[in-house]
C-alpha cells in the first residue's frame, strides 16, 4: 500500500495510519477505536468466509507500520476443549 492511497481517501489525516489489530473469532482482541483503517480492515475480514475460518482457530495480528507495510502474524492455535461434566445420581436406599 502506498501513502498516496491513504491520503486521497482522508487528506486531513496527518500520517497516523499505523495500527495493530489482533483478531480471534472475528472480533478485535485489542482496542482499535482510534484507527479507522484497523476498523475497516476488521469489517473486511468479518465479511470473508476464508478469513473467518482462519481466525476461528488462531489469533492473527495485523500490523501496519509507518511505511504503509502490512505485516500479518499468526499466533498459536487455540484449541477449545469441551469439558464433560459427569452427573452423579444419588441412589436412594
Task: For the chain of 93 residues, list the mean pLDDT of each consecutive stretch of 10.
Answer: 72 74 95 91 95 93 90 80 49 48
Domains identified in the chain, total number:
1
**pLDDT at residue 26, as a whole number:** 93
CA distance between the termini of the chain: 75
- The secondary structure of 9-49, three-state, reads HCCCCCCCCCEEEEEECCEECCCCCCCHHHHHHHHHHHCCH
Residue 83: inside a domain = no
What does the pLDDT read at residue 63?
A: 95
**pTM flag (> 0.85):** no
Instruction: Confirm whether 85 is domain-assigned.
Output: no
Structure confidence at residue 88 (pLDDT): 45
Structural domain containing residue 7: 3-76
Contact 19, 71 (CB under 8 A): no
Amino acid at each position: 500500500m502506498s501513502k498516496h492511497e491513504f491520503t486521497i481517501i482522508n487528506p486531513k489525516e496527518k500520517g497516523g495510519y499505523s495500527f495493530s489489530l489482533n483478531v480471534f473469532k472475528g472480533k478485535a482482541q485489542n482496542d482499535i477505536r482510534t484507527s479507522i483503517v484497523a476498523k475497516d480492515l476488521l469489517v473486511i475480514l468479518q465479511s470473508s468466509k476464508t478469513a473467518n475460518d482462519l481466525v476461528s482457530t488462531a489469533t492473527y495480528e495485523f500490523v501496519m507500520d509507518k511505511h504503509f507495510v502490512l505485516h500479518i502474524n499468526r499466533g498459536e492455535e487455540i484449541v477449545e476443549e469441551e469439558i464433560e461434566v459427569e452427573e452423579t445420581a444419588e441412589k436412594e436406599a
